[in-house]
């Protein structure tokens, strides 16, 4: 009878474990970085809340740093009159030529929908905004907002529905974030000078404090520690087919994204020719 070499079976499994990390305890996974007590972790680490009053907002960041990953967060946004407030949830590297992948939720008057603002920065250059109205009220319950970032693409998703894809088109001269490790950040802050209708609607401080709630944080990621990635070669080479490191949108995902963009997109930089009088960005022409 042939002997089974268990080491050859376990090695790929151990490698997979190194790049697959799911977390759910905020005490272990994040640190509140500002706000003088306006950020709170409760329920044995299962719930985190950020609040904003006239004096200050609050924010937190992940303890881990990532070079590619799939990051999920369940968020319940500020209810009622949230005009002037911004709840930001994003990945960002350090330095003056930073990379960044943004979800920003721009508050509004009671009864009016939030604006979901997305952007991608590479080496300090952004100007890649797409904005959406959501197809549900994000203040009634928690909803999952996901960033998938791998060497080939960035996919923004809401409750598992993709809303935006930013592909790696470096071969065509478009910068793509792939070299700088990023942390996950979130904050709740006052942006009444621009957030609601270009700053025309101001924050109603009689409604303060404003509170956003978080739960269900998870990370499947290449974690960078002491300059080294938990993924082989630091870039996911050799990852199994179908993992997040090589994930792309199938035909169903593409169809769902088109549905969102057809019905709920309210701004797309790639169609704003007036903003780019010298020509649209390369990625818009190649999409």
The catalytic residue positions are 100, 104
Q: Cβ neighbours of residue 235 under 8 Å, at least 6 residues apart?
A: 67, 68, 151, 178, 222, 229
How many C-beta neighbours within 10 Å does residue 208 have? 15
Neighbours of 157 (CB within 10 A): 22
Looking up tokens 């960033």, which residue turns up?
147
**Three-class SS of residue 175?**
coil
Reduced to 3 states (helix: H, G, I; strand: E, B; else coil), residue 254 is helix
Using CA atoms, how far apart are residues 32 and 63, in angstroms rounded to an integer?
Answer: 10
Distance CA 215, CA 209 (A): 20
Q: Which two tokens stand for residue 11?
A: 């090695």
Nearest-angstrom CA–CA distance, 105 and 247: 26
ω into 209 cis (within 30 of 0) = yes
Q: What is the dihedral of CA 18, 24, 26, 28, to 10 degrees?
A: -40
The span from the CA of 26 to the CA of 93, in Å, is: 21
């Amino acid at each position: 009878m042939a002997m089974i070499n268990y080491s050859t079976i376990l090695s790929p499994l151990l490698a997979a474990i190194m790049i697959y990390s799911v977390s759910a305890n905020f005490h272990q996974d994040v640190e509140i970085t500002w706000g003088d007590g306006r950020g709170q972790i409760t329920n044995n680490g299962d719930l985190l809340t950020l609040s904003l009053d006239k004096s200050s907002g609050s924010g937190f960041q992940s303890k881990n740093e990532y070079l590619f990953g799939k990051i999920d967060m369940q968020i319940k946004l500020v209810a009622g009159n949230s005009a002037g407030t911004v709840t930001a949830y994003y990945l960002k590297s350090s330095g003056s030529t930073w990379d960044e992948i943004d979800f920003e939720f721009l508050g509004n008057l009671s009864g009016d929908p939030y604006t979901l603002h997305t952007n991608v920065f590479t080496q300090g250059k952004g100007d890649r905004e797409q904005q959406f109205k959501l197809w549900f009220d994000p203040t009634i319950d928690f909803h999952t907002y996901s960033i998938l970032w791998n060497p080939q693409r960035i996919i923004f998703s809401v409750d598992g529905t993709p809303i935006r894809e930013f592909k790696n088109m470096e071969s065509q001269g478009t910068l793509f974030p792939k070299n700088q490790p990023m942390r996950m950040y979130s904050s709740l802050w006052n942006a009444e000078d621009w957030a609601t209708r270009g700053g025309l609607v101001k924050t109603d401080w009689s409604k303060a404090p404003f509170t956003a709630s978080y739960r269900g944080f998870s990370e499947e990621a290449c974690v960078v520690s002491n300059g080294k990635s938990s993924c082989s070669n630091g870039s996911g080479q050799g990852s199994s087919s179908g993992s997040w490191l090589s994930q792309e949108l199938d035909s169903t995902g593409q169809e769902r994204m088109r549905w969102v963009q057809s019905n709920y997109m309210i701004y797309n930089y790639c169609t704003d020719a007036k903003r780019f009088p010298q020509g649209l960005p390369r990625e818009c022409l190649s999409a």
